[in-house]
Homo-oligomer: A and B are copies of this chain.
């Protein structure tokens, strides 16, 4: 297309759209993440701030290589992993970077490259049909789903902002009329089912549209983004292709509603950290751009600074290596060091109080943003102001108002226990009420399976969610929680699960020798009341905390399964196991169809189970109270998995046919030793624990004894009601009266209690 033709087309388009030529000149550019002031600071700091200079040099190298390879704007054809998808994705990443380089280095090559790329898009876009892949509930044009088109618009707007003042008025008007405005309309008014909901998709959609609105200083676009479409014509109750609700009754919409609803007042994002990490970028990018360009809207401070709290929540919900705990649909290995967290870290530092732990995260990321916030971070790293990650025991409430359960992390020694008593977590939620996972340093000891998806690996179902995500990963038996009658919580029904949440009864995080959280759920199985208390207990004379787990259910059930999804090498078990010559699937649905029954124990006589395993060269032993007739199934994941999508992980399932309407399990997990394959030496091979017994249990109290190999014994007592700290509780045991204050108690037994 010649320039003359471009100009004419542009002029015509402007007239048609009713644009005024002055519109885009209301304030100077750049004004979004990188500001004109920031450019000045950066230019005067070049060569003095190592991490910033390194990031600039590597970005320059990357963009220069792209410029050398030419501009590639192919007709869209592929799913993620395919050429056209990856190419368009690369284009928008490079566009933002080219814009920053132009601002910082003043080299017009970058501006020209970006302009030429935009013109190629503007030439293609007006006649582009919907993407040929038909899988999505909201098909895009450049990509198979609007979500990726929104990514494109958000990043491209950042690049556009950087060259906006450099472009001729004619070029701007042409691009606005042929590319940007139709693009924003397509993502909003043309796709309300994508734009007008509360979901990470809409966060991207609204942020992208809003970002363009800021570039153009277009109040209508900005407010469309903030408040959503007034009239979207959507029906209440429609579902997307992940099974998520598109529209609920009285649903508020727009960017601010997306910020208010999924984040709790503590910054917990109801889908979990894996999706939060992805969503943080549009949340923060648009909020910071608003702060820079339109501070009067106070978007960054919205909901009592929840976005800053949300970055802290991501750090709280990661292990000591910075890997996020697997919560709901979550791919393992994703961490606070991911590039998509670069903005979050610099925003949390620059706008959130300069917490020095973010400096050490930024150092781990090895790069900063090429804007004034990234410069501030890099300067303070150079001044060695960083401090190591500060991860403490914490409870983060769930729900927009913070009253829909939550998630807790107990940390002691190098252990971290993640206890989940949240709401459903939107369409990426799992049926895992009162589940937990155990981490030791950067290793998983008792796992949450995560998701069944190979993100961006095209050979595995196009990189999308695989059927086993629904049939296994979301099901209750895939989690370390209680399963009644082989059915998942809420019958595995999303609509039902979405109406409920577990509740926190109490948390005690101050006493380092007894960290404890007690939560309950009475909706996962109607008429059944499940309660779990998880504690990290440091007994006198032991230098490592024990994980103590009380799990009780009141109400009828024909069969109770309590799986322990340990990882690593089976070492020994106290029960006699009959291994199966030809293992059969353990059930036909609810996830059981994916578990091979490798071995099954004899029914126990009621002695505690003792089970030891070795993972990441550390020894662990679980002691578990049993009742006569209980037995154990050693399961192996992988049955009914025709495409080998599942890992062949082990699980140990405690199975009980309860004799009464109330039954209780008490477990103690001891992390007791280490092994080195290089020296072949092991230390602490044997647990210090010798036995665990429940000695009293009713709906008011449970009392258990823990016996050590040393001969010492300890009594653990839990109250199941009236959790105030000063409430005095009394239990009349055969051995005498046990009396204590507060919800939970550990006491050394002066004389061993015999039943």
CA of A24 to CA of B305, assembled, Å: 82
Interface-lining segment among A14-22, A211-219, A528-536, A566-574:
A566-574
Q: Is the CB of A685 within 8 A of B81?
A: yes
Residues of chain B within 8 A (CB-CB) of A612 are: 459
A740, chain B: closest CB distance, angstroms: 37
Residues of chain B within 8 A (CB-CB) of A331 are: 677, 680
Q: Is the CB of A456 within 8 A of B680?
A: yes
Q: Is the CB of B577 within 8 A of A457?
A: no
Contact of A237 with B by CB under 8 A: no
Q: Is the CB of B596 within 8 A of A679?
A: no
Residue from A570, A639, A675, A680 having most chain B Cβ neighbours under 10 A: A680
Residues of chain B within 8 A (CB-CB) of A585 are: 581-582
Q: Is the CB of A579 within 8 A of B680?
A: no
Q: Beta-carbon contacts of A308-338 to B below 8 Å, as 1s and 0s?
A: 0000000000000000000000011111011
Select A333's contact among B460, B572, B677, beta carbons within 8 Å.
Answer: B677
A213, chain B: closest CB distance, angstroms: 29
Contact of A745 with B by CB under 8 A: no
Contact of A644 with B by CB under 8 A: yes
Q: Is the CB of B457 within 8 A of A334?
A: no
Select A579's contact among B333, B460, B583, B642, beta carbons within 8 Å.
Answer: B642
A754, chain B: closest CB distance, angstroms: 28
A581-B585, A583-B583, A685-B458 known; A570-B677 Cβ under 8 A: no
Q: Is the CB of A460 within 8 A of B581?
A: no
CA of A338 to CA of B332, assembled, Å: 31
CA of A458 to CA of B569, assembled, Å: 14
CA of A141 to CA of B647, assembled, Å: 47
Residues of chain B within 8 A (CB-CB) of A681 are: 456
Select A639's contact among B455, B581, B638, B682, beta carbons within 8 Å.
Answer: B581
CA of A599 to CA of B458, assembled, Å: 23
Select A638's contact among B577, B598, B685, beta carbons within 8 Å.
Answer: B598
Contact of A94 with B by CB under 8 A: no
CA of A579 to CA of B468, assembled, Å: 15
Contact of A339 with B by CB under 8 A: yes
A579-B640, A583-B583, A584-B581 known; A682-B572 Cβ under 8 A: no
Q: Is the CB of A685 within 8 A of B337?
A: no
Contact of A636 with B by CB under 8 A: yes
Contact of A678 with B by CB under 8 A: yes
CA of A335 to CA of B679, assembled, Å: 9
Q: Is the CB of A457 within 8 A of B571?
A: yes
A65, chain B: closest CB distance, angstroms: 14
The contact size tier of chain A is 35 or more
Contact of A648 with B by CB under 8 A: yes
A489, chain B: closest CB distance, angstroms: 27
Contact of A107 with B by CB under 8 A: no
Q: Beta-carbon contacts of A360-388 to B below 8 Å, as 1s and 0s?
A: 00000000000000000000000000000
Residues of chain B within 8 A (CB-CB) of A583 are: 582-583, 596
Closest residue of chain B to A585, judged by CB?
B581
Contact of A614 with B by CB under 8 A: yes
Residues of chain B within 8 A (CB-CB) of A414 are: none
Residues of chain B within 8 A (CB-CB) of A639 are: 581
Q: Is the CB of B678 within 8 A of A460?
A: no
CA of A289 to CA of B332, assembled, Å: 53
Q: Is the CB of B641 within 8 A of A579?
A: yes
Closest residue of chain B to A637, judged by CB?
B648
CA of A582 to CA of B586, assembled, Å: 11
Within 8 A of B (CB), among A529-560: none
A365, chain B: closest CB distance, angstroms: 10
CA of A42 to CA of B150, assembled, Å: 69
Closest residue of chain B to A681, judged by CB?
B456
CA of A338 to CA of B681, assembled, Å: 11
Residues of chain B within 8 A (CB-CB) of A596 are: 583
Q: Is the CB of B455 within 8 A of A680?
A: yes
CA of A335 to CA of B583, assembled, Å: 37
Within 8 A of B (CB), among A135-183: none
Q: Is the CB of B582 within 8 A of A582?
A: yes
A319, chain B: closest CB distance, angstroms: 14
Q: Beta-carbon contacts of A385-421 to B below 8 Å, as 1s and 0s?
A: 0000000000000000000000000000000000000
Q: Is the CB of A457 within 8 A of B642?
A: no
A577-B642, A583-B582, A638-B598 known; A678-B459 Cβ under 8 A: no
Closest residue of chain B to A331, judged by CB?
B677
Q: Beta-carbon contacts of A64-89 to B below 8 Å, as 1s and 0s?
A: 00000000000000000100000000
Residues of chain B within 8 A (CB-CB) of A337 are: 678
A206, chain B: closest CB distance, angstroms: 23
CA of A598 to CA of B581, assembled, Å: 13
A635, chain B: closest CB distance, angstroms: 12
Residues of chain B within 8 A (CB-CB) of A456 are: 675, 680-682
Q: Is the CB of A569 within 8 A of B647?
A: yes
Closest residue of chain B to A579, judged by CB?
B642
Residues of chain B within 8 A (CB-CB) of A579 are: 640-642
A715, chain B: closest CB distance, angstroms: 29
Q: Is the CB of B644 within 8 A of A570?
A: yes
A588, chain B: closest CB distance, angstroms: 11
Closest residue of chain B to A572, judged by CB?
B459
Residues of chain B within 8 A (CB-CB) of A682 are: 81, 456-457
6 contacts between A and B (CB under 8 A): A332-B677, A334-B680, A456-B675, A457-B682, A581-B584, A582-B583
Q: Which 8 A-B pairs have the closest CB atoms?
A: A333-B677, A570-B644, A582-B582, A459-B572, A455-B680, A582-B584, A338-B678, A648-B648
Other than the known A455-B680, A577-B642, what 12 A-B pairs have Cβ atoms closer than 8 Å? A331-B680, A332-B677, A333-B678, A338-B678, A454-B571, A457-B682, A457-B685, A582-B585, A583-B583, A583-B596, A598-B638, A648-B648
